[in-house]
Amino acid sequence: MAKKEEPVSSSDSEGEVETKKVKKTAKKTKKEEPKKKATKRKKDENAPRRYLTAFIYFSKEYRPTVKSENPEAKFGQIGSLIATKWNSMSADEKKRFEELSKEDKKRWERECKEYEAKKQNTKKAAPASDNETDSSDSESDSSE
């Protein structure tokens, strides 16, 4: 913050008024510590792949056509042309791609449920298997 100056008046015995400038300093703030860089969460390699959107299905189908019509176009330009075509399509034309997307989303939800159930079972089974090995060790010790 910048320093502000305010006039302050005082009076002498003769009735003259003097004006003095008093400087106000900004409040001291805590030193800003550099922000800690957020660590990226590791991706689970066994997790199901996310579903594809209707636009991605359209893009997969339409990209070869755009490439053949515009062989000199670069990757970003091709994407822009595909997006322009997608935006100019009617809802009826997009419906086929939206159906594909809905089916893929159902697949993803089903796989996620199976994956979560499997993950929960492995968490519950891990401590139980440790106990079984401990009890089998103690049985073998008593038979000796």
**Phi/psi of residue 19, each to 5°?**
-115, 125
Q: Does the domain spanning 54-134 belong to CATH 1.10.30.10?
A: yes
Q: List the domain boundaries for the chain.
A: 54-134
At 14 the pLDDT is 55
At 50 the pLDDT is 94
**Rounded CA gap, 79 and 67, in Å?**
10
At 103 the pLDDT is 97
At 144 the pLDDT is 43
What lies within 8 Å, CB to CB, of 103 at 6+ separation is none
Instruction: Give kind and range of the element (H or E) at residue 74.
Output: none
Q: Which residues pair with 5 in a beta bridge?
A: 23
Angle CA(81)–CA(84)–CA(89) in degrees, nearest 5?
130
Q: Which residues pair with 21 in a beta bridge?
A: 7
At 143 the pLDDT is 47
Query: Sign of the C-alpha dihedral, residues 60, 65, 66, 72?
Result: positive
The one-character DSSP state at 114 is H
> Of how many residues is the chain composed?
144
In the chain, which residues have pLDDT < 70?
A: 1-22, 24-33, 126-144
Amino acid in position 126: A
